[in-house]
């Protein structure tokens, strides 16, 4: 029934939280602002770098000029140290091996900037073929807009309803629903089962390998 898998990246395939949090906290520290905990960042990430910076900054510092400076500073810090702690979640390698053995096409759609998305997939998941790999870029609306997911379906020539969409946030589930894909929530990621279910998840899995049961 299902012919392809579309993956979110952060919180689904890769645990990127610590490197993201450390980079943003370095920006805040340089600006003399309060830092945030790793738990805080679970709710800051997932909707692109601009929203991450907006959520991390104090409310009185979220005007467009300061926000733009914050985004630039965050990009600079993250580009210097994006892979110190980031690695695939336990079980991800086994899942990807299983999908490859079944000749299932795999793609990635992230709200992370397109250059970082492609760099991270190539560097940390380069043993497997992902096509296409799309991140945030000009002309492509961020998730939960379904445009990126539908572009991937078009490129792979697979009908959206034949896709499993695996993600870990409400943004991912809403994207899958809007695109007409089957939303699967990853419980090892950044958000709760309740959030995933309330935003449209039709299946929750606690280990990556459980996705293979669909094939």
Q: Is there a single domain that holds both residue 116 and residue 171?
A: yes
Average pLDDT, the chain: 97
Task: Decide: 28 and 56 in contact? Cβ < 8 Å.
Answer: yes
Q: Which of 8, 19, 47, 172 is catalytic?
A: 8
Is-catalytic flag, 168?
no
- Whether pLDDT at 113 is above 90: no
pTM, to two decimals: 0.94
User: Taking residues 97-125, what's their average pLDDT?
Assistant: 96
CA distance linking residue 152 with residue 182, whole number of Å: 15
Q: Tally the domains of the chain.
A: 2
Last residue of a domain, one of 80, 110, 133: 80
Q: Which regions of 89-132 does DSSP assign to beta strands (E)? A: 106-113
Average pLDDT over residues 131-137: 96
**What is the residue range of 147's domain?**
4-15+86-214
Same domain? For 53 and 91 the reply is no
């Amino acid at each position: 029934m299902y012919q392809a898998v579309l993956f979110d990246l952060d919180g689904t395939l890769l645990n990127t939280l610590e490197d993201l949090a450390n980079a943003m906290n370095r920006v805040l520290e340089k600006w003399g602002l309060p830092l945030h905990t790793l738990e805080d960042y679970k709710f800051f990430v997932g909707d692109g770098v601009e929203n991450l910076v907006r959520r991390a900054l104090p409310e009185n510092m979220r005007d467009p000029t300061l926000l733009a400076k914050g985004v630039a500073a965050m990009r600079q810090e993250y580009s210097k140290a994006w892979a110190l702690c980031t690695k695939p979640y336990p079980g991800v390698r086994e899942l990807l091996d299983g999908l490859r053995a079944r000749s299932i096409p795999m793609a990635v759609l992230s709200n992370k900037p397109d250059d970082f998305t492609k760099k991270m997939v190539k560097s940390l998941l380069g043993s497997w073929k992902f096509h296409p790999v799309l991140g945030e870029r000009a002309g492509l609306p961020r998730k939960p807009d379904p445009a990126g997911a539908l572009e991937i379906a078009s490129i792979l020539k697979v009908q959206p309803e034949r896709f499993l969409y695996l993600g870990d946030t409400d943004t991912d589930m809403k994207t899958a629903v809007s695109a007409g894909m089957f939303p699967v929530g990853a419980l090892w990621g950044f958000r709760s089962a309740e959030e995933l279910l309330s935003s449209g998840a039709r299946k929750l899995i606690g280990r990556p390998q459980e996705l293979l049961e669909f094939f």
